[in-house]
Amino acid sequence: MNIDVEVKNLKKTYPGKVPTHALGGVTFDIKEGEFVAIMGKSGSGKSTLLHQLGLLDVPTEGELIIDDVDISKLSDHEKTVFRLQRLGYVFQEYALIFELTALENVLLPAFALNGSKRSYKDRATEMLNKVGLSERTDHRPHELSGGEQQRVAIARALINNPKILFADEPTANLDTNSSREILELFKKLNKELGQTIVLVTHEPDDRKYVDRVIWMKDGLIEKTEKIF
């Protein structure tokens, strides 16, 4: 099985009067088609790690290779294009563009990548179908529930067929039912489409959905737990 993400001695220090060492040097791999959870207590460094993996932040030190590309060699502009082409990201809060409908939110990354809305409208509709929102395509974010918004965000993250889907505590603001639906959706995407997924969560119960858990503590990997 190919390796999608290769992390070597990755460190992140936030400067300040007293520098904060959020990541103290982590090393691990994520294989193609794997569903991995990064878990740990608050302040353990799990979100910081995901931000580095999702190219939302720049590590202080270490090596990060995603889909055979050494990320440290990419310019800011190249990283933006890389994110658009190969990564999908689902935020903790429902990070939708409130002036766009559900369909337009999903369509936006495809439009930005290919310059055509019309050609990708069907695919965007299909993605919304996949997340169970075929009836809500023309609704704007404020007309959708939290769970529905998060499903739109997942459809948006998948529109460009990303190599890896990152999700940063996507169920943190959802009720139990909606949380379960979202995680089952992730599981389904992983099983049926072979989608590589990296999920940050603090809910121990979420372990049952994933293949492997990377436990974080004080900015370091405490242990790796194989579930399946």
Partner 1 sequence: MKKDLKVAFFLGYKSIVNGHKGTIVLMIFILSLAFVNLVFVASILNGITTTINNQIVNNYVANIVISPQEEPRRKDYIVHTKELRQQIKNLPGVTATVAHYKMIATFAYDKNKDGQFKYGSWEVIGVDPEEEPSVTGILNNIIAGNYLEGLGSGDIVLGSDIAGGYGAVEEFKSLGGARVGEKVRLNFGNGATREYTVRGISKVRFILIDQTAYITAKEAKSILQLSDDRASQILVKIDKTGNEDWYIEKIKEIAPNLKVRKWTEYTSIVGDLTKSFDLIAAMISIIGLAVAAITIFILIYVNAINKRRQIGILKAIGIKENIVIISYILQALFYAISGIVLGSIIMFYFVEPYFIHHPLMFPIGDITLTIKEFQVTQGVFGLLVAAFIAGLIPAWRAARENMLKAIWGA
Q: How far is the CB of 135 from partner 1 (least distance, A)?
A: 20
- Residue 122 binds partner 1, judged by CB under 8 A: no
Closest of 50, 87, 27, 64 to residue 202, by C-alpha:
50
In terms of Cβ atoms closer than 10 Å to its own Cβ (0-12, 13-18, 19+), residue 163 is: buried
Going residue by residue from 67 to 86, which x/- string records binding to partner 1, judged by CB under 8 A? Answer: ----------x--xx-xxx-
- Residue 98 binds partner 1, judged by CB under 8 A: yes
- Residue 20 binds partner 1, judged by CB under 8 A: no
Residue count (the chain): 228
| Nearest to partner 1 of 143, 205 (CB atom) | 143
Choose the stretch contacting partner 1; rule: CB under 8 A; options: 104-112, 124-132, 193-201, 217-225. Answer: 104-112
Q: How far, rounded to the nearest angstrom, does the alpha carbon of residue 228 sit from its chain's CA centroid?
A: 21
Choose the stretch contacting partner 1; rule: CB under 8 A; options: 5-13, 37-45, 92-100, 195-203. Answer: 92-100
| Nearest to partner 1 of 160, 196 (CB atom) | 160
Q: Which one among 22, 30, 53, 111 touches partner 1, defined by CB under 8 A?
A: 111
C-alpha to C-alpha distances, 187 to 29, 76, 169, nearest whole angstrom = 20, 32, 15
Give me the residues that bind partner 1 (CB under 8 A), please.
51, 54, 56-57, 77, 80-81, 83-85, 87, 89, 91, 95-100, 104, 108-109, 111-115, 117, 140, 156-157, 160
